[in-house]
Amino acid sequence: MIVNFDLNAIGVFTGILAWSVIGFFAYQIYKKQMVKPKVWKILMAILVGLFSFSINWNMNETMFRIPILPLGVWILYFFCKGKAGRWQTYRTFAWLGFLMNFVFLFLTLVSIPIYHMIYSENEPSTYISTVENASIITIHPSAKNPTLKEEKLLKQLSSMSQEKIYSNQWYDDTYKNHELIDRKERFPYQLIGASPKWGSGLNTIIYIEDDGKGILISTPKKQLYFRSEESILERGE
């Protein structure tokens, strides 16, 4: 079983912050209110209140939920209206639940630039930070059997320059004038076991170019291509 240890620290922190905000406001309301309902009932009212009709808006591969209709509040209203005074007791908590949707939205909007500040998208060191357990796996027969030079890779990381991906051209070059018999893969190696920067929660596939000087990084959202001055591989047989 693959267990996902790749923790998104910013996401976890945002979540904790959001729930602390809920806790804080719920306590304020509780203090002010004359009728003191049971804690688990307050929790239920807030959770039901969170339920809303919302529009999902996808920007830069991140999903934003914009709450429109307070469905949960309505449901709770119909549930409570039978008994006098019950709605009064839970109303504020239900609305707090609905308003929390906006807090979540706000925190998401704020956390994204922070995430990008800490885990810069265009820095190779975001994707490759520790290489203690890293190794090279050959994924195509046109490759030699090289070994990875870890120190060299780490040293080159900061000076690598980002280059454009010519996907169409790379693809065509592979087939043009190359029969099956001498067809070479441009990226015949994969770097396995390198960890991304702590807390980034990133999953990547990292390909290495046949000259050992280029790395092509596939994230779930996009691809990035970096070139270095020297090869990070040692040629084998």
User: By the criterion CB under 8 A, which residues form the site for other proteins?
Assistant: 1-2, 4, 6, 63, 137-142, 164-168, 170-171, 174, 180-183, 185-188, 190, 192-193, 203-205, 207, 216, 218-223
Nearer to other proteins, 135 or 159 (CB): 135
Q: In 10 A of CB 20, how many CB atoms?
A: 10
Strands 233-234 and 189-192: unpaired
Min dist. Cβ of residue 100 to other proteins (A): 20
Q: Do residues 64 and 53 touch, judged by C-beta distance below 8 A?
A: no
DSSP class of residue 93 equals H
Phi, psi of 24 (to 5 degrees): -60, -50
Q: C-beta of 5: minimal distance to other proteins in Å?
A: 11
For residue 61, the minimal CB distance to other proteins (Å) is: 9
158 versus 168: smaller Cβ distance to other proteins: 168
Q: How many residues does the chain have?
A: 237
Cβ proximity to other proteins: between 95 and 207 the closer is: 207
Give 85 or 141: the residue with its C-beta nearer to other proteins: 141
Distance in Å from the first CA to the final CA of the chain: 35
Amino acid type, 227: R
Report in angstroms how near the CB of residue 116 gets to other proteins at its nearest. Answer: 17
CB of 187 to other proteins, least distance (A): 4
CB 98 within 8 Å of CB 105: no
Q: Closest approach of Cβ 88 to other proteins, in Å?
A: 38
Q: Which is nearer to other proteins, 45 or 143 (CB)?
A: 143
The nearer residue to other proteins, 4 or 122, going by C-beta atoms, is: 4
CB within 8 A of 217, min separation 6: which ones? 124, 127, 204, 205, 206, 207, 223, 224, 225, 226
3-class SS of residue 30: helix
What's the maximum distance between 2 C-alpha atoms anywhere in the chain? 85
H-helix or E-strand containing 64? strand 62-69
